[in-house]
Amino acid sequence: MAQAILADRELSAGLAPTGRLRVAIAVGPAPSAVYAVRGEREGELRGVTVALAEALAAATGLPLEIVPFRSSGEIQATAASGSWDVSFLPVDEERRRHVDFGAAFHILQSSYLVPAGSPINRIDQADTPEVHIVGVRNSATLRASLRASPRASHVPVETPEDAVAMMHGGMADAIAMGREALSGLVSQIEGSRILPGSFLTTTTAVVLPKGRPAALAWVTALVEEAKAAGLVQRAFERVGLPGASVPPAAG
């Protein structure tokens, strides 16, 4: 597969025009299908998206360059900048205007995390004017929360760390994120809990900047192979998320 793609100049240029495979990775305080976390060594990143990036680079024979971002929203906002070639993002209709989606490798469910003593016990109870919901700017989850809880006040922040800081400061009644990401924040906010159910169910998928159909088809095939081989499930397990839902491989 690596030889075939490198021999096809049009495909190689569409996937990695600089000759390096530049993969945009969101880096946060807790691992999820989107967020990688920093490792013990300087510059080291660990996560499901890192494992997929390494698999892509190995299959192409191209040198891998990780391009770190603070959030999925920042990756979306830079899709047309030419600063990255491949990434991994939750799917929603707004995002389709900025990137082209390939194969899904995760089923995302988003909910709210509430602090100790919160009277909010169900998702629908967050939909009141008195509730301040914090979410990452330009994220699929924040957009879905705006639809699910239109009467609540929504406060966009740049990073998950900002959301945690706001809850610690008493300025957030709920944090809107995917369940895996929230599970990593519970230990950082004493007494907090994740509400049952979800207000968003979608998938997390490999993405390319718009207009690279041949390259998109190739990375889609690779992600399907990675799912079939168990690479994705093992990557979730390595970061402590064995219960993450991986969709079956196509075919």
Angle at 240 between CA 244 and CA 53, to 5 degrees: 75
The three-point CA angle 204-207-208 to 5° equals: 175
Q: Tell me the C-alpha distance between 139 and 137, whole Å.
A: 6
Q: What is the total residue count of the chain?
A: 251
CA distances from 152 to 47, 84, 98, 123, 158 (A): 33, 35, 27, 12, 19
What is the pLDDT of the chain when averaged over all its residues? 93
The pair of three-digit structure tokens given for residue 98, joined into one six-digit string: 């900025």
What is the average pLDDT across 41-62? 92
**What integer pLDDT is reported at residue 8 of this predicted model?**
59
Model-level pTM? 0.91
The answer, yes or no, to whether residue 4 has pLDDT greater than 80, is: no
Q: pLDDT class for 50, splitting at 50, 70, 90?
A: very high
Are 74 and 35 a contacting pair, CB within 8 Å?
Answer: no
Quick: pLDDT tens for 170-211: 999 999 999 999 999 999 999 999 999 999 999 999 999 999
Q: What pLDDT sits at residue 5?
A: 44
Confidence of residue 27 (pLDDT cuts 50, 70, 90): very high
Average pLDDT over residues 30-52: 93
Rg (CA), the chain: 18
